[in-house]
């Protein structure tokens, strides 16, 4: 029976090649998008699951505002280093604690004797307990003693092979220069660990142990921020544990205020909430500080992908029910031959299953084709066939296959198996309007999705144009940002290079901004404002001109002592006309000498914060690695070469890293443009899937109404009237879909735009364009088939039967 049904299914598919291929391709595309999403979700879910022992590893998160982009408190991954010892001493369930340096995403120069230096990211300093907390398996070396001596290094296997070409390197030396001004330090290789099979929140290519992290931070006013991880006893009760952690943390915090000017009460009064917690490490990845976790980020995408799959399933259902009259006779005959309804439903489900299976196979091919591009777009490293969770993924695919088959096949199977043999076998049965309502509503749904996406593209494009053209408040052309701290000697040497106009430094520039709030007292008003230290030439280097007053200048002695420049937002907070006025910060008095326009240092989803700029010392305190160089011509590639020459003199062991501000700006829009690209791709796919469905369906309708068309022609209808007749039956569906999608699109776009601090008003044009476009392409699609029906010779249609 199964074999025979399979044969019938195959013959039917072959007979209806055209529709079957539309069904299968559509489904394959929908599936591909969905499977990519599935792979992505699996990848993100797999973070920090590479060892069962990780169940007992926790990340320490302190709730604080230090280094936050907007001076608000966040659950940060970098914590005051003293917390490590504090927790270790006071929480009995903790068996080991380790401090790890933050990942600065910085290249370090690694040199092996007699080989060329290589720049490597992800070399992180840790204390000796690192491998007692993180359950890495050692390929070479001993886990217990690897980091026991200072100046030792443990490498991941990849890096070991890259540097030495062999794994037998225990005891060998690697020379490392970490920051540009550093001396060369030699590290002894004490171990090689295997790369875990899932990604890690605490990623590294090598762990160095300088010994610096083993020491306890003695100076109570000195804060050092590091990542802290703890290993706990099995089955710790997290809620109770975190209550304890918070208690210990707050008790300690209170003691730190004893010998400083402000008190714990002041700390609370200014809106701070002291807190600290342990977070299971497998939850760390989905809860990053400052930004939304991947689950939230992926929400709109998963919605679109699901819609895509839905559209292809709808095509399937529509074509199957429209085609059902072709199979009616078969159903009738089988019923009188003794087939039960259940058997028939099973047969039709199997036919759908066969098509889903084909779709799945094509999807497999498409995945192989698109996965590299997908990985590259998102900077991931996902594989399909060599995925360690392959079995699990295949299981998911099988589940997906079943769901799709049931979704797409159940309704048509139900319709078909319900045919009554007495009606279908009379011989006059040619079609019924069974499922017409459902079919029409499904078409409406498809077009609602497509039109909404088209409107969304239009609105997003308008916002993107707005962002690209928006006045940033500074001139981003002809400036590069060298990642180096300001050094007056080097700056002077760079100034001597011809073509260089200004050399400055600031902690607030697009691509690398750093916020730090300070208290001020302005005419009795107490405020918290963002403080940025700049060098004399920072503003000219950024192309910023004063709105009121003047900018810093070496001509004024006090500029290096107590003068400040405000941005417009800050000036507004202080009451508008502020030049010449003074404010106090702690015991110092500052004089406001100028106001500049607000300038963007972050992407457009963040508003510009009120900021005070000051030059505290001659060189500024801009220890944030932004050395800005402005050129006087836009052909500055050769000048950069000369600057590199200057650089070499000072830092022979460390190459110069730089980025133009233009690139930094583009980079700040990257997340958004990636999202935009994806929406465009998905919209194009969804629209073409909807259209292919409509096309196939109109073919059917035209065929089914051949006789009606012939009769009408004999009665004197013109070709145009016939085309209109067929168009009309689809056109009102498309119009209905447009009406439904307007409010939906409005709400979605509004929500998206609300995510931008700087945004356009709700545009009207995309709505109109989407409606007109959808109507035109729907009419064109249907007309192709309608025209065929209209110009056919009516005699042929009428002679038959």
Partner 1 sequence: MIELKNIEKYYSSKGIKHYVLRHVTTTIKQGEFVSIMGPSGAGKSTLLNILGMLEEPTYGTYEFMEEDVTRLNERKRIELYRNHIGFVFQAYHLIDEMTVYENIEAPLLYKKVGGAERASRIADLLDRFNMVAKKDLFPNQLSGGQQQLVGIARALAAQPSIILADEPTGNLQSAQAEEIMQLFQKLNKEDGITIIQVTHSEKNAQYGSRILNIADGVVKDDITLTAV
Reading the block at residue 432, the tokens are 């019924």
Judged by beta carbon, residue 240 or residue 340, the one nearer partner 1 is 340
Residue 235, Ramachandran bin (φ over 0: left; ψ between -120 and 50: alpha; else beta): left
Q: Is 7 in the site for partner 1 (CB under 8 A)?
A: yes
Decide if residue 430 touches partner 1 (CB under 8 A): no
Choose one: 248-256, 384-392, 416-424, 693-701; the region binding partner 1 (CB under 8 A).
Answer: 416-424
**3-class secondary structure, 620:** coil
Cα angle value 532/538/542 (rounded, 5°): 110
Q: Which is nearer to partner 1, 225 or 429 (CB)?
A: 429
* Pattern 175-214, partner 1, x by CB under 8 A: ----------------------------------------
Residue of the chain from 6, 68, 301, 425 that contacts partner 1 (CB under 8 A):
425
Per-residue binding string, partner 1, 329-358, x by CB under 8 A, is xx-xxxxxxxxxx-x---------------
Site for partner 1 in 15-74 (CB under 8 A): 15
Q: In angstroms, what is the minimal distance from the CB of 15 to partner 1?
A: 7
Angle, nearest 10°, between helix axes 670-704 and 719-754? 160
CA distance 93 to 87: 10
Task: List, in order, residues 6 or more apart from 427 with CB less than 8 Å away.
Answer: none
Cβ 702 vs Cβ 723: under 8 Å:
no
Residue 420 within binding range of partner 1, rule CB under 8 A: yes
CA–CA distances in Å: residue 371 to residues 264, 380, 396, 552, 738:
54, 10, 18, 53, 34
Residues across the chain: 801
Q: In the bound complex, what is the minimum distance in angstroms from residue 21's beta carbon to partner 1?
A: 18
**Sites for partner 1 among residues 70-109 (CB under 8 A):** none
Task: Output the furthest CA–CA distance in the chain (Å, rounded).
Answer: 106
Using CA atoms, how far apart are residues 693 and 730, in angstroms rounded to an integer? 12
Is residue 6 a contact point for partner 1 (CB under 8 A)?
no
Query: Helix 719-754 to helix 765-791 angle, to the nearest 10 degrees?
Result: 160
Q: Residue 96, CB half-sphere, CA atoms under 13 Å: how many?
A: 16
| Residue whose CB is less far from partner 1, 336 or 795 | 336
Closest CB to partner 1 among residues 15, 732: 15
- Name which of 15 and 525 has its Cβ closer to partner 1: 15
Token pair of 358 as six digits: 């084909």
Provide the minimum distance between the beta carbon of 426 and partner 1 in the complex, in angstroms, as a whole number.
Answer: 8
Q: How far apart are CA 154 and CA 177, in angstroms?
A: 16
Q: Which is nearer to partner 1, 431 or 688 (CB)?
A: 431
Minimum CB distance to partner 1, residue 4 (Å) = 6
- Region binding partner 1 by CB under 8 A among candidate stretches 72-80, 394-402, 420-428, 736-744: 420-428
Q: Residue 2 CB, nearest distance to partner 1 (Å)? A: 10
Rg (CA), the chain: 34
Specify the residue, 270 or 423, whose C-beta has the smaller distance to partner 1.
423
Segment near partner 1 (CB under 8 A); pick from 1-9, 28-36, 94-102, 700-708: 1-9
Among positions 8, 41, 753, 792, the unique one binding partner 1 when judged by CB under 8 A? 8
Please state, in angstroms and rounded to a whole number, the distance separating the CA atoms of residues 351 and 633. 68
- Count of residues engaged in binding partner 1, rule: CB under 8 A: 26
Contact status, residue 201 vs residue 103, Cβ threshold 8 Å: no
Q: Using CA atoms, how far apart are residues 653 and 694, in angstroms rounded to an integer?
A: 65
Shortest CB 336 distance to partner 1, Å: 5
Contact call for residues 451 and 593 (beta carbons, < 8 A): no
CB of 415 to partner 1, least distance (A): 18
Q: Tell me if 555 contacts partner 1 by CB under 8 A.
A: no
DSSP 566: E
Q: Give 149 or 420: the residue with its C-beta nearer to partner 1.
A: 420
Helix, strand, coil % over all residues of the chain, rounded to 5? 50, 15, 30
CB of residue 8 to partner 1, shortest distance in Å: 5
Helix 706-714 / helix 670-704 crossing angle, nearest 10 deg: 60
Across-strand partners of 595? 548, 566
* C-beta closer to partner 1: residue 10 or 556: 10
Taking residues 295 to 334 in sequence order and writing x for each that binds partner 1 by CB under 8 A, - otherwise, the string is: ----------------------------------xx-xxx
**Of positions 17, 234, 426, 649, contacts partner 1 by CB under 8 A:** 426
For partner 1, the binding residues (CB under 8 A) are 1, 4, 7-8, 11-12, 15, 329-330, 332-341, 343, 420-422, 425-427
């Amino acid at each position: 029976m199964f074999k025979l049904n399979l044969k019938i299914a195959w013959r039917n598919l072959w007979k209806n090649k055209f529709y079957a291929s539309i069904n299968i391709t559509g489904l394959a595309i929908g599936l591909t998008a969905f499977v990519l999403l599935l792979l992505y979700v699996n990848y993100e879910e797999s973070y920090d699951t590479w060892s069962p022992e990780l169940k007992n590893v926790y990340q320490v998160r302190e709730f604080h505002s230090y280094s936050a982009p907007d001076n608000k408190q966040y659950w940060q991954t970098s914590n005051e280093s003293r917390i490590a010892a504090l927790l270790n001493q006071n929480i009995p369930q903790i068996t080991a604690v380790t401090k790890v340096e933050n990942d600065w995403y910085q290249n370090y120069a690694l040199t092996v004797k007699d080989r060329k230096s290589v720049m490597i990211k992800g070399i992180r300093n840790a204390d000796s307990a690192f491998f007692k907390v993180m359950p890495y398996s050692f390929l070479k070396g001993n886990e217990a003693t690897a980091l026991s001596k200072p100046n030792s290094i443990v490498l991941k296997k990849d890096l070991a092979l890259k540097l030495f070409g062999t794994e037998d390197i225990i005891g060998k030396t690697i020379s490392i220069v970490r920051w540009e001004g550093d001396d060369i330090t030699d590290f002894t290789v004490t171990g090689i660990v295997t790369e875990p099979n899932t990604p890690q929140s605490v990623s590294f290519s090598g762990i160095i142990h300088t010994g610096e992290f083993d020491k306890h931070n003695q100076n109570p006013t000195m804060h050092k921020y590091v990542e802290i991880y703890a290993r706990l006893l099995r089955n710790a009760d997290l809620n109770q544990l975190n209550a304890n952690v918070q208690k210990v943390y707050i008790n300690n915090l209170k003691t730190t205020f004893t010998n400083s000017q402000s008190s714990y009460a002041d700390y609370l009064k200014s809106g701070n909430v002291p807190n600290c917690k342990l977070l299971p490490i497998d939850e760390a990845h989905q809860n990053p500080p400052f930004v939304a976790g991947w689950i939230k980020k992926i929400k709109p995408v998963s919605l679109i992908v699901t819609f895509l799959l839905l559209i292809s399933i709808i095509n399937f259902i529509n074509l199957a029910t429209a085609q059902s009259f072709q199979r009616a006779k078969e159903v009738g005959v089988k019923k009188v031959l003794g087939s039960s309804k259940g058997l028939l439903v099973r047969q039709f489900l199997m036919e759908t299953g066969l098509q889903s299976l084909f779709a799945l196979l094509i999807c497999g091919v498409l995945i192989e084709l698109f996965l590299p591009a997908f990985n590259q777009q998102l900077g991931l490293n996902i594989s399909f066939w060599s995925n360690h969770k392959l079995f699990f993924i295949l299981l998911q695919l099988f589940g997906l296959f079943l769901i799709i088959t049931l979704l797409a096949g159940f309704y048509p199977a139900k319709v078909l198996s319900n045919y009554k043999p007495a009606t279908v076998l009379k011989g006059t049965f040619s079609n019924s309007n069974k499922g017409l309502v459902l079919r029409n509503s499904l078409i409406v749904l498809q077009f609602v999705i497509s039109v909404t996406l088209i409107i969304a593209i239009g609105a997003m494009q308008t916002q993107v144009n707005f962002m690209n053209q928006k006045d940033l408040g500074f001139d981003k052309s002809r400036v590069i940002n060298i990642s180096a701290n300001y050094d007056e000697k080097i700056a002077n040497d760079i100034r001597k290079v011809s073509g260089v106009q200004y050399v400055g430094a600031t902690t607030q520039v697009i691509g690398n901004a750093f916020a730090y709030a300070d208290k001020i007292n302005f005419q009795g008003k107490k405020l918290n404002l963002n403080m940025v230290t700049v060098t004399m030439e920072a503003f000219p280097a950024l192309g910023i001109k004063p709105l009121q007053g003047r900018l810093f200048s070496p001509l004024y002695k006090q500029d290096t002592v107590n003068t400040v420049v405000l941005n417009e937002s800050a000036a507004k907070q202080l009451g508008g006309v502020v030049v010449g006025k003074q404010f106090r910060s702690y015991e110092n008095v500052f004089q406001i000498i100028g106001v500049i326009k607000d300038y963007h240092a972050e992407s457009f989803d963040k508003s510009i914060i009120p900021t005070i700029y000051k030059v505290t010392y001659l060189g500024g305190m801009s220890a944030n690695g932004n050395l800005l160089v402005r050129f006087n011509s836009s052909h500055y590639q050769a000048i950069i070469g000369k600057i590199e020459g200057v650089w070499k003199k000072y830092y022979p062991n460390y190459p110069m890293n730089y980025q133009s501000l233009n690139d930094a700006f583009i980079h700040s829009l990257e997340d958004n443009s990636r999202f935009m690209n994806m929406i465009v791709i998905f919209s194009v796919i969804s629209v073409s899937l909807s259209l292919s469905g409509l096309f196939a369906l109109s073919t059917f309708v035209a065929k089914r109404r051949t006789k009606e068309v012939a009769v009408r022609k004999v009665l004197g209808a013109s070709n145009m009237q016939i085309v209109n007749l067929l168009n009309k039956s689809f056109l009102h569906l498309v119009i209905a879909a447009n009406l439904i999608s307007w409010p939906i699109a409005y709400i979605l776009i509004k929500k998206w735009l609300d995510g931008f601090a700087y945004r356009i008003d709700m545009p009207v044009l995309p709505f109109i364009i989407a409606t007109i476009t959808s109507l035109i392409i729907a009419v064109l699609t249907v007309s192709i088939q309608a025209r065929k029906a209209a110009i056919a010779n009516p005699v042929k249609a009428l002679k038959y039967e």
